[in-house]
């Protein structure tokens, strides 16, 4: 995505010449901060790139060796989403009576650089597309009939895997398997899935709203899911599955099913931010596929502490988990696993993503994608 950049390159002043000298330095892989730069250079365009774009390029240079192609894309990128427009360099141009003042790029908050990085990443994700779907095997007429609902982080990959094996869900007399785990993890799963499917607010904002309304997110409300299906097929055909090792047998396979991938807190937030940009580029079902099958697997391979419920909401999650456990037991469904598995567990993790961590992941993805594209061009 390209947007007009800032600056007054037509002005031949020491400040503008200094700025062009810094642009050339960064294009050549330099890492000197703007505040320490003094060498002048010749204009290389109509206007100067914005401060956010220039600082992001400097961070890329610090982290790796971006190609001229990636450098050009970053310098031409816009900063989507809410935030300040492209900013001019302090000391390069005069401050105007209106609009945001020029800035030292070195003191910009990481969030400003993430906005630029996610725009470039979104273009990369669209260009990469989604992998070719696995060809489903022939369906077995005597297969077990089932439906998988509940926590989408567990149910969705299991459905996709079983479909690829020739055993899709559905059919007359199917058992309805309501899958879940501890509610703390399911809260993270619900937020992550919303980010993938339709976009989501920041983790804290979303969670605060949920707690304030005192409701379990519909995606992981096992009680509501079980009762809905019990009304359709009868409670005797509804199973609550809290032991994931029991799931293969219930869907009629001996082979294990894929474990739900857990992203780091920073990776989860990066997915959310890229999703917001993708919403402007592709239709909703394409966005979900691109994020789930392209971006998410790449981020799942990058280590980092997972997201957990903040301490101030732990008691609320526990109360809601206990209420969920009582309701499921009172309704009399068959349960595979210990009902106490719904109660939140002590897990190591962080209660908030960090902008610094999100930016570091974005920079790493940009450089990795740049290397892959370079190799592809070499072999073309």
pLDDT in tens, the chain (380 residues): 443 334 454 577 899 999 999 999 999 999 999 999 999 999 888 788 999 999 999 999 999 999 999 999 999 987 665 445 578 899 888 777 677 888 999 999 999 999 999 999 999 999 988 877 666 665 555 578 999 999 999 999 999 999 888 888 988 889 999 999 999 999 999 999 999 888 899 999 999 999 999 999 999 999 999 999 999 999 999 999 999 999 999 998 889 998 777 899 999 999 999 999 998 899 988 999 999 889 998 999 898 999 999 999 999 999 999 999 999 999 999 999 999 999 999 989 999 999 999 999 999 999 998 887 766 666 65
Ordered strands of the 238-241 beta sheet:
146-150, 175-179, 238-241, 334-336
Q: 189 with 338, same domain? A: yes
Q: Are residues 69 and 216 in the same domain?
A: no
Query: CA 173 → CA 176, 236, 342, distances in Å?
Result: 9, 11, 27
In a domain, 215, yes or no: yes
> Residue 191: how many CB atoms within 10 A of its CB?
24
How far is the C-alpha of 80 from the C-alpha of 120, rounded, in Å?
10
Structural domain contains residue 138: no
Q: Is position 285 within any domain?
A: yes
Shared domain for 123 and 224, answered yes or no, is no
- Pair 56, 180 in one domain: no
Give yes or no: residues 193 and 261 share one domain. Answer: yes
- How many distinct structural domains can be found in the chain? 2
Do 187 and 281 lie in a common domain?
Answer: yes
d(CA 56, CA 44): 19
Asked whether residue 154 falls in the same domain as residue 72, the answer is no
In terms of domains, do 125 and 153 share one? no
Structure tokens at 239: 């199973």
Is there a single domain that holds both residue 120 and residue 156?
Answer: no
Same domain for 192 and 65: no
Claim to verify: residue 110 and residue 160 sit in the same structural domain: no
Instruction: Count Cα neighbours of 314 within 13 Å in the Cβ-side half-sphere.
Output: 9
Can you give the residue range of the structural domain that contains 44?
Answer: 14-131+363-379
Judge if 320 and 230 occupy the same domain.
yes
Residue 93 lies in a domain: yes
């Amino acid at each position: 995505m390209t947007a007009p950049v800032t600056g007054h390159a037509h002005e031949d002043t020491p400040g503008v010449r200094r700025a062009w000298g810094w642009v050339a330095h960064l294009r050549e892989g330099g890492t000197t901060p703007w505040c320490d730069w003094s060498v002048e250079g010749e204009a290389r365009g109509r206007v100067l790139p914005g401060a956010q774009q220039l600082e992001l390029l400097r961070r890329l240079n610090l982290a790796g060796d971006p190609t001229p192609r990636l450098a050009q894309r970053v310098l031409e990128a816009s900063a989507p989403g809410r935030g300040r427009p492209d900013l001019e360099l302090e000391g390069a141009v005069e401050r105007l009576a209106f609009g945001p003042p020029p800035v030292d790029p070195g003191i910009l908050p990481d969030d400003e650089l993430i906005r630029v990085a996610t725009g470039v990443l979104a273009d990369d994700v669209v260009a990469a597309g989604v992998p070719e779907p696995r060809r489903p095997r022939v369906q077995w007429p005597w297969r077990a009939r089932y439906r998988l609902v509940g926590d989408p982080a567990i149910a969705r990959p299991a459905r996709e895997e079983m479909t690829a094996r020739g055993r899709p869900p559905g059919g007359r007399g199917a058992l309805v398997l309501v899958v879940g785990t501890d509610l703390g993890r399911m809260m993270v799963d619900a937020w992550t899935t919303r980010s993938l499917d339709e976009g989501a607010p920041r983790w804290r904002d979303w969670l605060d709203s949920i707690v304030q309304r005192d409701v379990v997110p519909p995606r992981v409300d096992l009680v509501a899911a079980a009762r809905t299906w019990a009304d359709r097929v009868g409670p005797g055909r509804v199973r609550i599955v809290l032991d994931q090792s029991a799931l293969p047998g219930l869907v009629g396979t001996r082979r294990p099913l894929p474990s739900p991938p857990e992203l780091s807190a920073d990776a989860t937030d990066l997915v959310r931010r890229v999703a917001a940009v993708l919403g402007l580029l592709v239709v909703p079902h394409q966005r979900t596929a691109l994020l789930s099958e392209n971006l998410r697997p790449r981020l799942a391979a990058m280590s980092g502490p997972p997201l957990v419920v903040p301490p101030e909401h732990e008691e609320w999650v526990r109360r809601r988990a206990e209420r969920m456990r009582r309701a499921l037991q009172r309704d009399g469904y068959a349960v595979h696993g210990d009902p106490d598995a719904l109660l939140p567990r002590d897990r190591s993790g962080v209660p908030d993503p960090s902008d610094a961590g999100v930016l570091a992941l974005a920079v790493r993805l940009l450089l990795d994608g740049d290397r892959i594209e370079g190799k592809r061009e070499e072999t073309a």
